[in-house]
A and B are shown apart, each in its own frame.
Chain A
Amino acid sequence: MSLFNRPARPQQDAELNLIPLIDVMSVLVAFLLIYTADVATVQNTKDVEIPQSTAETQAQQSVVVMITKDHVFVQGELVADVADVNASSEPLVEPLRAVLDRPMLLGNGGEAGKATREVTVIADKSLPFELVRKVMATCTATTYGKISLAVLQK
Protein backbone atom coordinates (compact mmCIF):
# COMPACT_ATOMS: atom_id res chain seq x y z
CA MET A 1 0.00 0.00 0.00
CA SER A 2 1.46 3.27 -1.09
CA LEU A 3 -0.17 4.99 1.84
CA PHE A 4 1.91 3.05 4.33
CA ASN A 5 5.12 2.90 2.33
CA ARG A 6 5.52 6.60 2.19
CA PRO A 7 8.66 7.93 3.74
CA ALA A 8 7.97 9.45 7.12
CA ARG A 9 7.45 13.17 6.83
CA PRO A 10 9.68 15.39 8.83
CA GLN A 11 8.06 15.80 12.25
CA GLN A 12 6.42 19.19 12.61
CA ASP A 13 5.12 20.85 15.71
CA ALA A 14 1.41 20.14 15.67
CA GLU A 15 -0.23 23.37 16.75
CA LEU A 16 -3.83 24.53 16.87
CA ASN A 17 -4.83 27.85 15.43
CA LEU A 18 -6.00 29.32 18.70
CA ILE A 19 -6.42 32.98 17.87
CA PRO A 20 -9.52 32.63 15.63
CA LEU A 21 -11.06 30.32 18.22
CA ILE A 22 -10.65 32.98 20.86
CA ASP A 23 -12.07 35.59 18.53
CA VAL A 24 -15.22 33.57 18.01
CA MET A 25 -15.58 32.88 21.71
CA SER A 26 -15.22 36.49 22.76
CA VAL A 27 -17.89 37.49 20.26
CA LEU A 28 -20.15 34.77 21.69
CA VAL A 29 -19.52 35.87 25.26
CA ALA A 30 -20.20 39.52 24.43
CA PHE A 31 -23.42 38.63 22.58
CA LEU A 32 -24.72 36.42 25.37
CA LEU A 33 -23.87 38.96 28.05
CA ILE A 34 -25.78 41.70 26.26
CA TYR A 35 -28.71 39.41 25.49
CA THR A 36 -29.15 38.24 29.09
CA ALA A 37 -28.97 41.80 30.40
CA ASP A 38 -31.87 42.69 28.12
CA VAL A 39 -34.27 40.08 29.50
CA ALA A 40 -33.45 40.55 33.16
CA THR A 41 -36.29 43.00 33.82
CA VAL A 42 -38.81 40.29 34.52
CA GLN A 43 -37.26 37.87 36.94
CA ASN A 44 -37.48 34.16 37.41
CA THR A 45 -40.54 32.72 35.78
CA LYS A 46 -39.80 29.08 36.40
CA ASP A 47 -43.02 27.80 37.93
CA VAL A 48 -45.26 29.96 35.81
CA GLU A 49 -46.55 29.13 32.39
CA ILE A 50 -47.26 32.51 30.86
CA PRO A 51 -49.89 32.73 28.13
CA GLN A 52 -48.79 33.60 24.61
CA SER A 53 -49.89 36.72 22.85
CA THR A 54 -49.20 38.88 19.84
CA ALA A 55 -48.43 41.90 22.03
CA GLU A 56 -45.30 43.82 21.12
CA THR A 57 -44.94 46.27 23.99
CA GLN A 58 -41.68 45.79 25.85
CA ALA A 59 -41.73 45.06 29.55
CA GLN A 60 -40.77 47.99 31.74
CA GLN A 61 -39.28 48.24 35.16
CA SER A 62 -42.14 47.99 37.62
CA VAL A 63 -43.42 46.15 40.64
CA VAL A 64 -43.86 42.50 39.69
CA VAL A 65 -46.71 40.46 41.13
CA MET A 66 -46.29 36.83 40.22
CA ILE A 67 -49.05 34.24 40.61
CA THR A 68 -47.87 30.67 40.30
CA LYS A 69 -50.14 27.66 40.60
CA ASP A 70 -49.65 27.66 44.38
CA HIS A 71 -48.35 30.98 45.63
CA VAL A 72 -48.49 34.74 45.14
CA PHE A 73 -45.19 36.64 45.12
CA VAL A 74 -44.44 40.35 45.11
CA GLN A 75 -40.93 41.18 43.88
CA GLY A 76 -39.91 37.61 44.69
CA GLU A 77 -41.29 37.75 48.22
CA LEU A 78 -43.87 35.14 49.19
CA VAL A 79 -47.07 36.91 50.10
CA ALA A 80 -49.99 34.50 50.05
CA ASP A 81 -51.07 31.01 49.09
CA VAL A 82 -53.38 30.57 46.15
CA ALA A 83 -55.52 28.13 48.14
CA ASP A 84 -56.08 30.71 50.88
CA VAL A 85 -56.98 33.41 48.38
CA ASN A 86 -59.45 31.12 46.67
CA ALA A 87 -61.00 30.10 49.98
CA SER A 88 -61.56 33.62 51.26
CA SER A 89 -64.76 35.35 50.26
CA GLU A 90 -63.33 38.86 50.52
CA PRO A 91 -63.04 40.87 47.32
CA LEU A 92 -59.41 41.87 48.00
CA VAL A 93 -56.33 39.90 48.98
CA GLU A 94 -55.42 41.37 52.38
CA PRO A 95 -51.80 40.15 52.72
CA LEU A 96 -51.05 41.38 49.20
CA ARG A 97 -52.63 44.70 50.02
CA ALA A 98 -50.42 45.07 53.09
CA VAL A 99 -47.27 44.48 51.02
CA LEU A 100 -48.31 46.72 48.14
CA ASP A 101 -49.08 49.55 50.55
CA ARG A 102 -45.44 49.81 51.60
CA PRO A 103 -44.34 53.26 50.51
CA MET A 104 -40.93 52.41 49.09
CA LEU A 105 -41.58 49.12 47.39
CA LEU A 106 -39.81 50.00 44.18
CA GLY A 107 -37.35 52.40 45.74
CA ASN A 108 -38.40 55.46 43.73
CA GLY A 109 -41.48 57.53 43.10
CA GLY A 110 -42.69 58.22 46.61
CA GLU A 111 -45.83 60.27 46.96
CA ALA A 112 -45.45 62.05 43.64
CA GLY A 113 -45.29 58.91 41.55
CA LYS A 114 -48.05 57.10 43.36
CA ALA A 115 -50.86 57.64 40.91
CA THR A 116 -48.79 56.41 37.98
CA ARG A 117 -47.14 53.50 39.74
CA GLU A 118 -47.11 50.43 37.62
CA VAL A 119 -47.53 46.81 38.40
CA THR A 120 -46.83 43.87 36.11
CA VAL A 121 -48.88 40.76 36.74
CA ILE A 122 -47.25 37.49 35.75
CA ALA A 123 -49.88 34.80 36.08
CA ASP A 124 -50.06 31.16 35.18
CA LYS A 125 -52.40 30.57 32.29
CA SER A 126 -54.36 27.77 33.92
CA LEU A 127 -55.52 29.94 36.83
CA PRO A 128 -59.20 30.86 37.05
CA PHE A 129 -60.02 34.46 36.22
CA GLU A 130 -61.55 34.95 39.66
CA LEU A 131 -58.10 34.81 41.29
CA VAL A 132 -56.45 37.13 38.79
CA ARG A 133 -59.32 39.57 39.16
CA LYS A 134 -58.90 39.60 42.96
CA VAL A 135 -55.20 40.37 42.59
CA MET A 136 -55.84 43.11 40.03
CA ALA A 137 -58.56 44.62 42.22
CA THR A 138 -56.12 44.68 45.13
CA CYS A 139 -53.54 46.44 42.96
CA THR A 140 -55.93 49.18 41.91
CA ALA A 141 -57.16 49.55 45.49
CA THR A 142 -53.60 50.33 46.59
CA THR A 143 -52.93 53.28 44.27
CA TYR A 144 -51.36 51.33 41.47
CA GLY A 145 -52.79 53.15 38.49
CA LYS A 146 -51.45 50.98 35.71
CA ILE A 147 -51.66 47.24 35.38
CA SER A 148 -49.85 45.23 32.74
CA LEU A 149 -50.17 41.55 32.06
CA ALA A 150 -46.95 39.76 31.19
CA VAL A 151 -47.19 37.50 28.14
CA LEU A 152 -44.83 35.57 25.93
CA GLN A 153 -44.34 36.92 22.48
CA LYS A 154 -45.50 34.43 19.87
Chain B
Amino acid sequence: MSANARYFTTGGSLLQGGFTNRVRKPAEVMLVPMIDIFVVLVTFLLMTAVFSRITILQLDLPSANDAGAAAPPEFRLEVIVRESGFELTNGESLIAALPKVDGEYDWATLTQLAQQLKSENPDVDDASVLLERTVKYDYLIQVMDAIRSVELPVDGGSAADPAVATKRTELFTNIAVGEAP
Protein backbone atom coordinates (compact mmCIF):
# COMPACT_ATOMS: atom_id res chain seq x y z
CA MET B 1 0.00 0.00 0.00
CA SER B 2 2.68 2.45 0.98
CA ALA B 3 4.65 1.59 -2.11
CA ASN B 4 1.61 2.43 -4.18
CA ALA B 5 1.16 5.71 -2.43
CA ARG B 6 4.71 6.69 -3.02
CA TYR B 7 4.28 5.89 -6.67
CA PHE B 8 1.33 8.27 -6.93
CA THR B 9 3.09 11.15 -5.26
CA THR B 10 6.28 10.86 -7.25
CA GLY B 11 4.64 10.01 -10.57
CA GLY B 12 2.59 13.18 -10.92
CA SER B 13 3.49 16.80 -11.36
CA LEU B 14 4.56 16.85 -7.74
CA LEU B 15 7.88 15.53 -8.95
CA GLN B 16 8.97 19.03 -9.81
CA GLY B 17 8.11 20.56 -6.49
CA GLY B 18 10.71 18.81 -4.43
CA PHE B 19 9.41 20.12 -1.11
CA THR B 20 6.86 17.33 -0.60
CA ASN B 21 8.98 14.48 0.35
CA ARG B 22 6.65 12.81 2.82
CA VAL B 23 4.33 10.08 1.71
CA ARG B 24 0.85 11.31 0.95
CA LYS B 25 -1.86 8.78 1.64
CA PRO B 26 -4.99 8.89 -0.51
CA ALA B 27 -7.89 10.36 1.46
CA GLU B 28 -10.17 7.58 2.57
CA VAL B 29 -13.34 7.41 4.65
CA MET B 30 -13.42 4.71 7.29
CA LEU B 31 -16.12 2.60 5.71
CA VAL B 32 -15.75 -0.67 7.56
CA PRO B 33 -16.92 0.50 11.02
CA MET B 34 -19.80 2.27 9.35
CA ILE B 35 -20.84 -0.92 7.63
CA ASP B 36 -20.61 -2.76 10.94
CA ILE B 37 -23.03 -0.33 12.52
CA PHE B 38 -25.39 -0.56 9.57
CA VAL B 39 -25.40 -4.35 9.71
CA VAL B 40 -26.28 -4.30 13.40
CA LEU B 41 -29.00 -1.70 12.81
CA VAL B 42 -30.55 -3.62 9.93
CA THR B 43 -30.67 -6.91 11.84
CA PHE B 44 -32.11 -5.23 14.93
CA LEU B 45 -34.80 -3.41 12.99
CA LEU B 46 -35.67 -6.49 10.98
CA MET B 47 -36.12 -8.50 14.15
CA THR B 48 -38.37 -5.93 15.79
CA ALA B 49 -40.37 -5.15 12.67
CA VAL B 50 -43.97 -6.28 12.86
CA PHE B 51 -45.12 -7.56 9.55
CA SER B 52 -48.76 -7.68 10.45
CA ARG B 53 -50.93 -4.65 10.37
CA ILE B 54 -53.29 -4.01 13.25
CA THR B 55 -56.58 -2.45 12.36
CA ILE B 56 -59.67 -1.77 14.42
CA LEU B 57 -63.37 -2.55 14.29
CA GLN B 58 -65.40 0.28 15.71
CA LEU B 59 -68.45 -0.64 17.72
CA ASP B 60 -71.69 1.25 17.49
CA LEU B 61 -72.58 1.90 21.10
CA PRO B 62 -75.69 3.68 22.26
CA SER B 63 -74.16 6.64 24.08
CA ALA B 64 -75.89 8.80 26.65
CA ASN B 65 -75.94 11.81 24.30
CA ASP B 66 -78.12 10.57 21.49
CA ALA B 67 -80.32 8.17 23.42
CA GLY B 68 -83.87 8.58 22.24
CA ALA B 69 -82.92 11.25 19.71
CA ALA B 70 -83.27 9.07 16.65
CA ALA B 71 -86.52 7.30 16.01
CA PRO B 72 -86.11 3.54 16.14
CA PRO B 73 -85.84 2.22 12.59
CA GLU B 74 -88.49 -0.12 11.31
CA PHE B 75 -85.96 -2.85 10.69
CA ARG B 76 -82.92 -3.84 12.69
CA LEU B 77 -81.02 -7.01 11.95
CA GLU B 78 -80.13 -9.07 14.99
CA VAL B 79 -77.81 -12.03 14.77
CA ILE B 80 -77.90 -14.26 17.81
CA VAL B 81 -74.88 -16.52 18.10
CA ARG B 82 -75.52 -19.59 20.18
CA GLU B 83 -73.38 -22.61 20.81
CA SER B 84 -75.69 -24.52 18.48
CA GLY B 85 -75.73 -22.02 15.60
CA PHE B 86 -77.02 -18.67 14.39
CA GLU B 87 -80.45 -17.16 14.72
CA LEU B 88 -81.43 -14.14 12.65
CA THR B 89 -84.24 -11.94 13.88
CA ASN B 90 -85.53 -8.49 13.04
CA GLY B 91 -85.87 -7.57 16.69
CA GLU B 92 -89.23 -9.21 17.16
CA SER B 93 -89.65 -12.29 15.06
CA LEU B 94 -87.31 -14.97 13.87
CA ILE B 95 -86.20 -14.68 10.26
CA ALA B 96 -84.04 -17.75 9.99
CA ALA B 97 -82.18 -20.25 12.13
CA LEU B 98 -78.87 -21.56 10.88
CA PRO B 99 -77.71 -24.56 12.87
CA LYS B 100 -74.07 -25.57 12.78
CA VAL B 101 -73.01 -27.72 9.85
CA ASP B 102 -70.52 -30.45 10.77
CA GLY B 103 -69.64 -28.63 13.99
CA GLU B 104 -68.88 -25.38 12.15
CA TYR B 105 -70.94 -22.25 11.90
CA ASP B 106 -72.63 -21.73 8.55
CA TRP B 107 -70.78 -18.59 7.42
CA ALA B 108 -71.74 -18.78 3.75
CA THR B 109 -75.47 -18.86 4.44
CA LEU B 110 -75.15 -16.06 6.99
CA THR B 111 -73.50 -13.74 4.48
CA GLN B 112 -76.01 -14.75 1.84
CA LEU B 113 -78.94 -13.95 4.15
CA ALA B 114 -77.36 -10.66 5.21
CA GLN B 115 -76.96 -9.75 1.55
CA GLN B 116 -80.58 -10.59 0.85
CA LEU B 117 -81.81 -8.59 3.85
CA LYS B 118 -79.67 -5.65 2.80
CA SER B 119 -81.20 -5.63 -0.67
CA GLU B 120 -84.66 -5.66 0.92
CA ASN B 121 -83.75 -2.78 3.26
CA PRO B 122 -81.09 -0.75 1.46
CA ASP B 123 -81.26 2.22 3.87
CA VAL B 124 -80.61 0.24 7.02
CA ASP B 125 -77.02 0.14 8.25
CA ASP B 126 -77.62 -0.96 11.82
CA ALA B 127 -77.26 -4.46 13.12
CA SER B 128 -76.73 -6.17 16.44
CA VAL B 129 -74.70 -9.22 17.24
CA LEU B 130 -75.86 -10.98 20.39
CA LEU B 131 -73.70 -13.75 21.75
CA GLU B 132 -74.18 -16.40 24.36
CA ARG B 133 -71.80 -16.09 27.28
CA THR B 134 -69.59 -19.03 26.43
CA VAL B 135 -69.13 -18.29 22.72
CA LYS B 136 -65.54 -17.44 21.80
CA TYR B 137 -64.60 -13.83 21.14
CA ASP B 138 -63.17 -14.90 17.77
CA TYR B 139 -66.67 -15.74 16.52
CA LEU B 140 -67.85 -12.23 17.37
CA ILE B 141 -65.26 -10.79 14.99
CA GLN B 142 -66.08 -13.34 12.30
CA VAL B 143 -69.81 -12.68 12.50
CA MET B 144 -69.16 -8.94 12.31
CA ASP B 145 -67.04 -9.54 9.21
CA ALA B 146 -69.72 -11.71 7.65
CA ILE B 147 -72.52 -9.14 7.96
CA ARG B 148 -70.38 -6.02 7.53
CA SER B 149 -69.31 -6.47 3.96
CA VAL B 150 -69.23 -9.03 1.21
CA GLU B 151 -66.90 -9.66 -1.72
CA LEU B 152 -68.90 -9.74 -4.90
CA PRO B 153 -67.51 -10.62 -8.32
CA VAL B 154 -67.48 -7.61 -10.60
CA ASP B 155 -69.00 -9.05 -13.74
CA GLY B 156 -71.02 -12.07 -12.97
CA GLY B 157 -68.25 -14.63 -12.47
CA SER B 158 -68.26 -17.28 -9.82
CA ALA B 159 -67.39 -15.99 -6.35
CA ALA B 160 -65.36 -19.09 -5.61
CA ASP B 161 -62.96 -18.40 -8.46
CA PRO B 162 -60.00 -16.43 -7.10
CA ALA B 163 -59.07 -15.18 -10.56
CA VAL B 164 -62.26 -13.16 -10.90
CA ALA B 165 -61.92 -9.56 -9.77
CA THR B 166 -64.09 -8.82 -6.75
CA LYS B 167 -65.54 -5.67 -5.33
CA ARG B 168 -66.27 -5.18 -1.65
CA THR B 169 -69.86 -4.21 -0.95
CA GLU B 170 -70.89 -2.78 2.38
CA LEU B 171 -73.82 -4.42 4.13
CA PHE B 172 -74.56 -3.55 7.75
CA THR B 173 -71.74 -1.31 8.92
CA ASN B 174 -73.00 -0.04 12.29
CA ILE B 175 -72.81 -3.06 14.51
CA ALA B 176 -73.71 -3.16 18.17
CA VAL B 177 -72.75 -6.01 20.45
CA GLY B 178 -74.75 -7.52 23.24
CA GLU B 179 -75.60 -10.60 25.18
CA ALA B 180 -78.00 -13.19 23.81
CA PRO B 181 -81.41 -13.30 25.50
The interface of chain A, by Cβ under 8 A from chain B, is 13, 18-19, 21-22, 25-26, 28-29, 32-33, 35-36, 39, 41-42, 45, 50-60, 115, 120, 123-133, 136, 140, 145-153
Q: Is B67 an interface residue (CB 8 A)?
A: no
A53 to B144, CA, bound (A): 9
Q: Is B59 an interface residue (CB 8 A)?
A: yes
Kindly state the interface size class of chain B when it binds its partner: 35 or more
A115-B64, A130-B133 given; 15 more Cβ-contact pairs under 8 Å: A21-B35, A29-B42, A29-B45, A39-B53, A54-B148, A54-B149, A57-B58, A59-B54, A128-B135, A129-B139, A131-B137, A132-B140, A133-B179, A147-B61, A150-B55
Given contacts A13-B4, A21-B35, contact A127 B55 (CB under 8 A): no
Q: B56 touching A120 by the CB < 8 A rule? A: yes
Q: What is the distance, in angstroms, from A88's C-beta to the closest C-beta of chain B?
A: 14
Main secondary structure of the interface of B (DSSP, over half): mixed
Measured between beta carbons, the chain A residues less than 8 angstroms from B63 are 115, 145
A22 to B32, CA, bound (A): 10
Most buried by A among B42, B55, B136: B55
Measured between beta carbons, the chain B residues less than 8 angstroms from A148 are 56-59
In the complex formed, the residue of B with least CB distance to A26 is B38
Measured between beta carbons, the chain B residues less than 8 angstroms from A124 are 137
Main secondary structure of the interface of A (DSSP, over half): mixed
Q: Considering the complex of A and B, which 9 residue pairs feature the smallest CB-CB distances, nearest first?
A: A125-B138, A32-B45, A130-B133, A148-B56, A25-B38, A51-B141, A129-B131, A153-B53, A149-B57
Q: Is B16 an interface residue (CB 8 A)?
A: no
A129 to B45, CA, bound (A): 36
| Contact residue among A18, A25, A32, A129 (Cβ-Cβ distance under 8 Å from B137) | A129
Q: What is the distance, in angstroms, from B142's C-beta to the closest C-beta of chain A?
A: 7
A151 to B149, CA, bound (A): 16
Given contacts A13-B4, A133-B179, contact A55 B57 (CB under 8 A): yes
Q: B55 touching A153 by the CB < 8 A rule? A: yes
